Structure 1
Amino acid sequence: MGSKNKLKRFQENETFKNVIQPTREEAINSFSYKGKWHSFFGNNNPIIVELGCGKGEYTIALARKNPNKNYIGIDIKGARFWRGAKTALEENLENVAFVRTQIELVDFIFAKQEVSEIWITFPDPQIKYQRTKHRMTNAAFLKKYDAVLKEDGIINLKTDSEFMHGYTLGLLQGAGHEILYANHNVYNNEGAPKEVTETQTFYENQYLEKGKWITYIQFRLKY
């Protein structure tokens, strides 16, 4: 994507009513919607968050299927989720929002027990050991998710990385968290949740065409 195209998308994002772009300082010290997301949407419906939402494909797809739930995509790359934000506006999806911020600030964006469900879709597995702190399912990140999730809140991890799948599964089992579902080839399992198999991103389709397996874990945190 050229720099001019990126700049145009950044400028358009500023005009979109469903896009919020706080500075890091604002996110940490004075994020206006923390604990008040229901006022943004104008209802008390459950809040579902997609972390590292990319183009917003999963956020949009789930929002279409579940109009009685509110969906928020979070990513630091606004030029990517521009597509999802624009699609939501074009389709008059009032249950969609996007926040441009770092994922590690999730506990500053949401209040305690404000989120019903989290989706993590195709994150960078950060395979090198020195990158462990950046893995989105490491112990530190799980603590942040626990801080914003309701007591019965659910986390979904969908990835093409066997490493990420195995790492997360081992971590969850070792810490005594509740694993609701786990499969390393979700499209070859008749019991897989429909939201997992009926919703696919652009890159996921590419992975499937190459014969790669898609893994999925659904779990609850138990601290």
Structure 2
Amino acid sequence: MTRRKLEHYKFSAVAANVIEAGKPLYTQIKGQWNQLYFENDNPVIVELACGKGEYTVGLGKQFPEKNFVGMDIKGDRIARGSLIATEYGLNNVAFLRAGIQYADEFFEENELSEIWLIHPDPQVRDRDENKRLTNPTFLARYAKYLKPGGMFYLKTDNTFLYEYSLEKLSESNRFQLIEHTNDLYESPLHDEHYGVKTHYESIFVSKGYTIKYIKATVL
């Protein structure tokens, strides 16, 4: 482990806005995000596989009337988002260090208002479909966590994942597609990215990739 990663892990271990194994809220937070962490009744929004938390922090800055949780298994990544959120004084931003496959342990039915999935690994090999974060199993979980009328958003540079996700959302009896585009920045939906770009998204765009975007709601 590099020295920088070690420093990030140490930061997460003491950061008040990081919930991870060994901290009391880790086993208490399910169904209690408003009560135990945010201490308000504002909507709770989750960014899955948040990486460095760029979207979590970016949205948290723009929407102080909403609560944001970035979830990722990589402690060194979320430590960076945690630090930035702390520097900005964003009390409406938290980070959860856990694998998405364990989300049932942290989110109760109908607890969330929105779920964001930003540039996840497309897992293009057929044998890896069970790892795709928009496969039917994961979509069913998201529908359970979201309140009726709750929103699901996907951004990706990967055409395969975009088309796969459209297909699976269309087949789902829990979601209704609202809008989608294969070129977000050249579409009428442009403003829906709220001016937030991840580091890697900026690289994708500079190389000529278009950003795909899907918006769906829970029935």
Residue segments in structure 1 that go unaligned for 5+ positions in a row: none
Query: How many residues matched?
Result: 216
Contact 2:152 2:215 in 1 (8 A): yes
Structure 1 residue runs of 4 or more that deviate by more than 2 Å after TM superposition = 174-177
Map 1:118-137 → 2, pairs under 5 A: 118-137=115-134
Q: CA deviation at 1:197?
A: 5.3
Q: CA deviation at 1:105?
A: 1.4
Contact 1:106 1:145 in 2 (8 A): no
Aligned to 2:180: 182
Q: Deviations over 1:116-142 (max 9, x none)?
A: 000000000000000000000000001
2:182 and 2:68 map into 1 onto residues whose CA distance is: 26
Residue segments in structure 2 that go unaligned for 5+ positions in a row: none
2:86 and 2:105 map into 1 onto residues whose CA distance is: 26
Aligned to 1:41: 38
Q: Deviations over 1:80-110 (max 9, x none)?
A: 1111100111110000000000011112211
Map 1:119-198 → 2, pairs under 5 A: 119-176=116-173, 177-189=175-187, 191-192=188-189, 194-196=191-193, 198=195
Map 1:56-75 → 2, pairs under 5 A: 56-75=53-72
Q: Deviations over 1:20-62 (max 9, x none)?
A: 1127xx99xx820111111211100000000000000000000
2:182 and 2:51 map into 1 onto residues whose CA distance is: 23
Contact 1:62 1:195 in 2 (8 A): no
Q: Deviations over 1:133-154 (max 9, x none)?
A: 0000000001111121101111
TM-score, with normalisation over the residues of structure 1?
0.93
Q: Does 1:199 align with 2:191?
A: no
Contact 2:113 2:150 in 1 (8 A): yes
Q: Identity, % of aligned pairs?
A: 38
Contact 2:178 2:217 in 1 (8 A): yes
1:156 and 1:171 map into 2 onto residues whose CA distance is: 14
Q: Report the AA paired with residue 32 of structure 1.
A: Q
